[in-house]
Amino acid sequence: MLIAQVIGELVATQKHASHEGRKLLLVQPLNLDGSNRGDAVVALDAVDAGVGDKVLLTTEGFSAMTSVGRPNSPIDMAVIGFIDDIELIPGAA
């Protein structure tokens, strides 16, 4: 799982039938210090997130498709939760 920030929404006029009724989001994975971690990715939204929200992103196909209730669906990533706060404990790693 990754920490990410929603940076946009996608509109797909044609998509796999299992994606019908679900929102596609463009999310930017983040490091713990809030800096960008690699390139932005597309994820299926399971929590009705919006632009600017910090979210929890699952990045493995089976976890993603079961998290959004779409078994056997071609999903690599899904937004599965909101992040309210991140607290780093010094010395813990």
Tokens (6 digits) for 54: 């910090």
Q: For residue 73, what are the β-bridge partners?
A: none
Burial classification of residue 45, based on how many CB atoms lie within 10 Å of its CB (0-12 exposed, 13-18 middle, 19 or more buried) = buried
- Confidence (pTM): 0.83
pLDDT single digits (tens) 33-73: 889 999 999 998 989 999 999 999 988 776 766 666 667 77
Banded pLDDT at 9 (limits 50, 70, 90): very high
Dihedral in degrees, nearest 10, Cα atoms 11, 39, 47, 8: -40
Stated length of the chain? 93
Domains in the chain with CATH codes: 2-81 (2.40.50.220)
